[in-house]
């Protein structure tokens, strides 16, 4: 099976924000993903981990595209080999023509795995480009992607399905709706990623654009990823999230949770969320961002990520683990293979 692994930030799509953010006042200053160091770091690390993962699966041929400005990174990926000496095929992509190599690879591959920011609907655009080019997309279906891309839609879905999320409202051109204490809240772009554009409210509403206003809840930031197979979601070990950067909300690093109490609470909340999400037509990786409060009744869902997430680096390094509600050990490679080939 020939698989094309596309990570938008490092794979040739770094200039795409310039085509959309000029019309999006929430993200108007971002013309190049490489302006945000955390995005290029996270993106390149995820792509490298995916290469290592799929290169070591039986009977897989790996294709990747790399931004032509990242020659040394592409050469490093090209030097990765598996036990029989196979290495990935690397195509360098000109970011000024972001879809040329992408569409060519989608047409030639049996499966395309996309890792694209939810920012300004770029993930949805990439899926559409893949399908129009004749590619076979492997990932979340449209209903699930909608909940990961549109943060307001996710909050409305959570209310309908009685899933706990922080109190929220919206700000449209400086006019707020919803009952949120503006002295303890943050502004989020409705379609954002990696903490880009997130900022503390401090009582002052943004005057232009549509924003999600969300109450800040105390606790430990935790992520729970699952691999969606034909038999349903398989929940992977939870990971703590270290956040920082200029806004304080950019992902910095992850570590696998060892505390059994936090593991159980994270899995229980994630299981409740997954039982309500529309997962039937989706395959592959999905991640949830959670907050674990002082008590279980103060645990909250924060975001749904319908794609490969940064903690793949932590989880793929585990030789084996026992997933939630399973009675035998496995690993990420076995589960991704099962999802990809339908077994």
Evaluate whether 2-138 and 218-341 have a shared fold.
no
d(CA 194, CA 252): 10
Residues 6+ apart with CB under 8 A from 204: none
User: Tens of pLDDT along 315-331?
Assistant: 999 999 999 989 899 99
User: Which DSSP state fits 238?
Assistant: P
Angle between helix 151-160 and 142-149 (nearest 10): 110
Least confident of 17-31, 166-180, 310-324: 17-31
Whole-angstrom CA distances from 62 to 1, 83, 232 are 9, 14, 26
DSSP code of residue 137 = B
Mean pLDDT of the chain: 91
pLDDT, tens digit (0-9, with 9 covering 90-100), for 118-135: 877 889 999 999 999 999
Residue 177 has pLDDT above 70, yes or no: yes
DSSP structure class, residue 292: E
The DSSP-derived string for 30-86 is -S-GGGSHHHHHHHHHHHHHHHHHHHTSTT-EEEEEEETT-HHHHHHHHT---TTS-
Query: What confidence category does residue 21 fall into, taking pLDDT thresholds of 50, 70 and 90?
Result: low
CA max distance for the chain: 61
Is 62 within 8 Å of 89 (Cβ atoms)?
Answer: yes
How far is it, in rounded angstroms, from Cα 190 to Cα 170? 9
Residue 255: HSE in the Cβ half-sphere, 13 Å Cα cutoff: 7
Of the CA atoms within 13 Å of residue 100, those in its CB half-sphere come to 10
Decide: 168 and 212 in contact? Cβ < 8 Å: yes
User: What are residue 240's DSSP bridge partners?
Assistant: 222, 255
Report the DSSP beta bridge partners of residue 223: 239, 289
pLDDT digits (tens, 9 = 90+) for 37-88: 888 998 999 999 999 999 999 889 999 999 999 999 999 999 999 999 999 9
Question: Which whole number is the average pLDDT over 7-18?
Answer: 92
How many percent of the chain have pLDDT more than 70? 96
174: left (phi over 0), alpha (psi -120 to 50) or beta: left
Q: Domains of the chain: which residue ranges?
A: 2-138, 168-215, 218-341
Cα separation, 118 vs 26, whole angstroms: 14
The architecture that CATH gives domain 2-138 is 3-Layer(aba) Sandwich (3.40)
How much of the chain is in helix, strand and coil states, percent to nearest 5?
35, 25, 40
Pick the CATH number of 218-341 from 3.40.50.1860, 3.40.1000.10, 3.30.70.2190, 3.30.470.20: 3.30.470.20
Residue 198: pLDDT band with limits 50, 70, 90? confident
- Asked if 5 and 113 touch (Cβ cutoff 8 Å), the reply is yes
């Amino acid at each position: 099976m020939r698989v094309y692994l596309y990570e938008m930030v490092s794979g040739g799509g770094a200039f795409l924000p310039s085509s959309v953010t000029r019309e999006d006042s929430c993200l108007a200053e971002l013309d190049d993903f490489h302006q945000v160091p955390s995005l290029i770091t996270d993106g390149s690390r995820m792509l490298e981990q995916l290469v290592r993962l799929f290169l070591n699966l039986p009977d897989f041929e790996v294709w990747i595209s790399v931004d032509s400005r990242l020659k040394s990174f592409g050469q490093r990926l090209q030097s990765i080999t598996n036990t029989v000496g196979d290495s990935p095929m690397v195509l360098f992509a000109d970011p000024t023509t972001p879809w040329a190599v992408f569409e060519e690879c989608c047409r030639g591959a049996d499966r395309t795995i996309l890792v694209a920011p939810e920012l300004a609907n770029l993930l949805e655009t990439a899926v559409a480009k893949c399908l129009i080019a004749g590619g076979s997309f492997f990932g979340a279906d449209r209903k699930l992607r909608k909940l990961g891309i549109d943060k307001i839609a996710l909050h409305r879905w959570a209310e309908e399905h009685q899933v706990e999320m922080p109190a929220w409202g919206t700000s449209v051109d400086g006019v707020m709706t919803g009952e949120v204490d503006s002295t303890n809240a943050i502004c989020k772009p409705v379609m954002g990623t990696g903490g880009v554009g997130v900022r503390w409210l401090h009582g002052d509403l943004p005057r232009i654009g549509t924003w999600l206003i969300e109450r800040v809840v105390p606790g430990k930031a935790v992520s729970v990823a699952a691999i969606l197979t034909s038999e349903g979601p398989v929940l992977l070990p939870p990971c703590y999230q270290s956040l920082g950067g200029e806004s304080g909300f950019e992902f910095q690093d992850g570590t696998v949770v060892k505390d059994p109490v936090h593991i159980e609470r994270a899995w229980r909340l994630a299981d409740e969320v997954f039982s309500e999400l529309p997962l039937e037509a989706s395959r592959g990786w999905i991640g949830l961002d959670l907050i674990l409060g002082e008590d279980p009744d103060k645990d909250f869902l924060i975001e749904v990520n319908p794609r490969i997430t940064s903690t793949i680096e932590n989880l793929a390094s585990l030789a084996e683990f026992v997933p939630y509600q399973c009675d035998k050990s496995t690993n990420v490679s076995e589960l991704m293979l099962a999802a990809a080939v339908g077994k």
